[in-house]
Amino acid sequence: MSSADYKIKSYCHIRDGKVSKNGEVLFSDSSEEFSAFIKATYKHFETDYSKFFKMDNLSKLAFMGAEVLLRDTDEKNIALILSNRASSLDTDRKHQAAISKQSGAFASPAVFVYTLPNICMGEISIRHELYSENSFFIFAEFKPHLLSDYANDLLETEKANEVLCGWVDYDKGKYDAFLYVIAKKGLLPLDTGELTKLYRTK
């Protein structure tokens, strides 16, 4: 099967107080602050996963996006290829603040562990029992063509049956997640134009 045959099986957006799947809004919440919004999202989807509350903002965002897309699938060989602009800077700043105090500077291991952007993929892997490949890229903006190249290779070499790709960025209170599953069967053709259009959909 060549890359021309792969499809976008499903996609989701989490931004501007809304969570949508395949273009349909599943949940919206008017909370101004992300932590209130994402907690409401967690509750709305009856997630029941207490570890969620230990996660940092980036991981909570990625986790809920993956939850929406992977909840009803049996497929386990799903690779994760995520990307963003801010890496784990939101949490990095917290760790930096903790160690910069003039007196009583104590680093928190629970904060430090999240000072890597790929941890969010670890959380998704644990939740959905995925022993698959994870790669986290940093770009100035969403780059569907690069993610697709990479995903194509994983699918062609049969390293994965499906690939969860996308953009999950959290920085200075602003959040933007666009995740999609690439598979052999799906709704939409896999091409850069289509992905860019979907990403930009409000």
Partner 1 sequence: MNSVYLSHNNIISAYGFDSAAAVSSIKNEVSGLSLVDDSKILPNPFYSSLIPQGSLSEAFEKLNPKEAYTRLEQILLVSLADTIKKSGIELSDRVGLIVSTTKGNIDVLEDDSPFNEERAYLNELGKKIENFFGFKNEAIVLSNACVSGVLALAVAKRFIHQKRYDHVFVVAGDLVSKFILTGFNSFQALSETPCRPYCKTRAGINIGEVGCSVLVTADNTNLVDESVRIIGEASCNDANHISGPSRTGEGLYRSIVSAMNQAEIEADAIDYISAHGTATNYNDEMEAIAFNRANLQHTPLNSLKGYFGHTLGASGLLETIIGMYSLHSNTLFASLGFQELGVSKPLHIIKKTTAKESSIFLKTASGFGGCNTAAIFQKVNS
Partner 2 sequence: MSELKLELKEKIIEQLNLEDVSVDEIADNDPLFGEGLGLDSIDALELIVMLDKDYGIKLADPKEGRKIFESIDTMAAYIAANRSN
User: Site residues (CB under 8 A) for partner 1?
Assistant: 3, 85-87, 89, 92-93, 95-96, 99-100, 105-109, 112-113, 115-119, 121-123, 125-126, 128-140, 143, 146, 149-150, 152-154, 157, 159
Tell me if 138 contacts partner 2 by CB under 8 A: no
Those residues with Cβ within 8 angstroms of residue 54's Cβ, 6 or more apart along the chain or in another chain: 110
> Which tokens is 118 given?
């790929």
**Can you give the three-state secondary structure of 106-167, one letter per residue?**
CCCHHHHCCCCCCHHHHHHHHHHCCCCCEEEEECCCCCHHHHHHHHHHHHHCCCCCEEEEEE
Single out the residue of 166, 200, 201, 161 nearest to residue 184, CA to CA: 161
**Residue 53 contacts which entry, partner 2, partner 1, none (Cβ below 5-8 A, type-dependent):** partner 2
Question: Would you call 14 helix, strand, or coil by DSSP?
Answer: strand
CB of 82 to partner 2, least distance (A): 22
Tell me if 97 contacts partner 2 by CB under 8 A: no
**Residue 43 contacts which entry, partner 2, partner 1, none (Cβ below 5-8 A, type-dependent):** none
Tell me if 50 contacts partner 2 by CB under 8 A: yes
* Euclidean distance between CA atoms 108 and 111, whole angstroms: 5
**Residue 104 contacts which entry, partner 2, partner 1, none (Cβ below 5-8 A, type-dependent):** partner 2
Tell me if 99 contacts partner 2 by CB under 8 A: no
**Residue 196 contacts which entry, partner 2, partner 1, none (Cβ below 5-8 A, type-dependent):** none
Tell me if 126 contacts partner 2 by CB under 8 A: no
21 exposed, middle or buried (CB, 10 Å; 0-12, 13-18, 19+)?
middle
Piece in contact with partner 2 (CB under 8 A), picked from 26-34, 77-85, 106-114, 148-156: 106-114
Residue 87 · residue 117 · CB < 8 Å: yes
Tell me if 33 contacts partner 2 by CB under 8 A: no
Give the residue with the Cβ less far from partner 1, 10 or 87. 87
Angle at the Cα of 67 from the Cα atoms of 141 and 121, rounded to 5 degrees: 55
What does the binding site for partner 2 look like in residue numbers (CB under 8 A)?
50, 52-54, 104, 106-110, 113
